[in-house]
A and B are shown apart, each in its own frame.
Chain A
């Protein structure tokens, strides 16, 4: 196993490029806590090294990663310089790594759930723009059930049911009626927005959800308390964050290590071929799409009864689309999408802390996931290749 892993590591020009990207990050990092280098010289030096490595990689024919290293170097110099100019107090206030990472995990969790759902749906060949709506339905029905039935786990169950139902509607229109999947997904978003908004106002009126709703518990890991850095991050996380991590691993195992995964992927790549060996394209797609709704809804339920403990209209506010972005950014792979979710979560965490510098500019970090994904689909940092049959309705012969 280790030698196989080693073989998969980048080498040659690719390794230089990756090193360049890392050095570029370090150029910024040295200017931040805990090192807080105050001279702009070091970031400049490191940044130049990164640019050099990138150029070297470019000459070796590694274009995208090479440019990545150069950009990383330039950004490292710029940001590093800015950090050295900024006051130490501000730096200390904003860059508290453990708090940043804990916030990152919180923000990334709903994204990760929905992204895993998106992967299953799209791997089976059904575009799921409706993730946002399915998430929203999970958020609402989760808190509704937790409130009325009095238990968080019943909330989760109902959220899953609601998300699954919305997904089933999407599946029926996309699979049996062969409707346009993008149009259908969009309709799901409208429907979920309308239905949750309607019921929310009808049931809770203007006063909103009550404060004493049973919430998903946190997991206390006492033994981590004394560990530096790791303790504050992992010591007290919501159960759903750990479940998200499990879901990611499970999604990877199912998709790439089991017959079920092979079949799902075959249906998304070449449904006719799958059908000729006896796989039911319709059944596979129904199952995958429904599962995607369930997962997205769990992400939504975490938002309402694990994270903020309340519901308001349209509370997902585009997180479903960020999850979709994570799916694409992660090339339809569970770990890739999870990494993207973490990255996007980190940018949300930063957006929350940056107002110390500039209230308005912090908001721009909210746009980062979308900008990065736009760059990703443009193919600048390695193009994401979707399943071949995604979005194509399949007709049985």
Chain B
């Protein structure tokens, strides 16, 4: 491996109003290496890469490429300097072909004006063979798999002559096989002299693929170290800045009668793809059932089907003895479900409503909020006042717009609304996503309290830690099926194997 850095970032500082997103961060990348950029959400990884890609101008610091200072004021300049970026959310045009997407803005031309499709396809074929990225240049992007779309993104960067490739959380959307294939691609790229910045917050991947690791925390660079000697524990310590204490205090569950039956459920997504293929499980009173799995293995569709937001193809959902399989959202809620949705801003709250109005979202049409279609705002406010106090929502009163609260407080509002309805089963989908530590603890404590009061809790989370520390039983979902059931004592390795489809144990 060549030791000379192809890229150096020196003392990069980027401020946003009220935040220092990058505080004097230095970083270097050698030819042919995979350098992982590790940090929690909000640690400043994406900001740093956006600076490198010309999307942000740094307030201080300089960028050196191949030892020469480079002025990167636009994405075009970044491309010209050999920097290519594979965004977490793909920058692909779904209705166009692979070749069109790859050559966009640097198209081969024939007779001076016409786009040379044949040449474009040929170039794409060449590149894809050279780097082992198999794609069909004529395929329409929206019709190919996510893994293939990612290859198109990589090809796009390579086509533009990128020597430095930034992969932003590349495995977040991939199935385990696809992730495995991606690692193979990364190795073949580095063998051919490309250098790769691999952004992640997944320790396992980082130790597997990276040569060196740079850890960011709260905008500051903490350390750069060789991946070879690093353990997951040591990296985790650097990442969060304290010994990770994942266990939440709780007493053993005392499961009671079954409250939620899901029986051989089949669900398709918006595009008609089978996402849930015969899922069956039971949630009993007084227990937390955790569903673990890599994102996109059907968890969202499962939750939507249970809560009446999506029609299921076949199977049965029974809540507290009432069959709600073919009912709408309202009936499911009335049957005794509480639902903390995975996206509180898009779904959980009407951001432009006041907190009082948001808290009435499920029962605005019943006493006491209204009677015979007539609304009583004062009663909504009075109830909101009590709830906001009970759930310790800070930063606003009943008349405050929900958009004015921080994420943690918004989530508390959702929690307050769902718990106050006194549901039999509480469904919590990624309830702590994007929250700060204090809010996470609040949510966790509250979920356990609800369990102890005899509710059934169904927890869906992508965070293994959360699943491990809260669940009384753990189900693993993989490609639309429950592929394993575990006790809370299970090791991360065992869970990981099941989540990646390696488990042989089939759920009963």
Residues of A within 8 A of B (CB): 253, 257-259, 261-263, 265-266, 269-270, 272-279, 388, 397
Contact = CB atoms under 8 A, between A and B. Distances in A.
Contacts of B109: 259
A159 B424 CA distance: 70
Nearest to A257: B114
B105 A269 contact: no
Contacts of B100: 262
27 contacts: A257-B114, A258-B113, A259-B115, A262-B96, A262-B115, A263-B104, A263-B105, A265-B93, A266-B96, A269-B93, A270-B94, A272-B91, A273-B90, A273-B91, A273-B93, A276-B53, A276-B87, A276-B91, A277-B75, A278-B74, A278-B76, A278-B79, A388-B94, A388-B95, A397-B50, A397-B55, A397-B56
A277 B101 CA distance: 10
B85 A276 contact: yes
B279 interface: no
A227 B372 CA distance: 76
Contact of B91 (A257, A265, A270, A388): A270
B85 A259 contact: no
Looking at A261, A270, A278, A397, the one whose CB has the most chain B CB atoms below 10 A away is A278
B92 interface: yes
B115 to A, nearest CB: 5
Looking at A253, A258, A263, the one whose CB has the most chain B CB atoms below 10 A away is A258
A47 to B, nearest CB: 36
Interface in B45-64: 50, 53, 55-56
Looking at B91, B94, B100, B109, the one whose CB has the most chain A CB atoms below 10 A away is B91
B473 interface: no
Contacts of A277: 75, 79, 91, 104-106, 156, 160
B107 interface: yes
A269 B115 contact: no
Contacts of B74: 278
Contacts, number: 66
B96 A269 contact: yes
A234 to B, nearest CB: 29
Looking at A263, A265, A273, the one whose CB has the most chain B CB atoms below 10 A away is A273
Given A262-B104, A277-B156, 9 more contacts: A258-B113, A265-B93, A266-B104, A269-B96, A273-B90, A273-B93, A273-B104, A277-B91, A278-B79
Contacts of A257: 114-115
Contact of B104 (A258, A272, A279, A388): A279
Interface string B312-351: 0000000000000000000000000000000000000000
Contact of B75 (A261, A265, A266, A275): A275
B353 to A, nearest CB: 22
A318 B140 CA distance: 38
B448 to A, nearest CB: 41
B327 to A, nearest CB: 27
A275 B85 CA distance: 13
A273 B96 CA distance: 12
B71 to A, nearest CB: 15
Nearest to A277: B105
Nearest to B90: A273
Contact of A262 (B50, B53, B107): B107
Given A257-B115, A266-B96, A279 B105 contact: yes
A104 B50 CA distance: 55
A263 B56 CA distance: 24
Contacts of B101: 273
A279 to B, nearest CB: 5
Contacts of B92: 270, 273
Looking at A261, A266, A274, the one whose CB has the most chain B CB atoms below 10 A away is A266
B61 to A, nearest CB: 19
A266 B103 CA distance: 12
B104 A274 contact: yes
A274 B105 contact: yes
A243 B106 CA distance: 32
Nearest to B160: A277
Contacts of A278: 74-76, 79, 105
B99 to A, nearest CB: 10
Contacts of B160: 277
A159 to B, nearest CB: 27
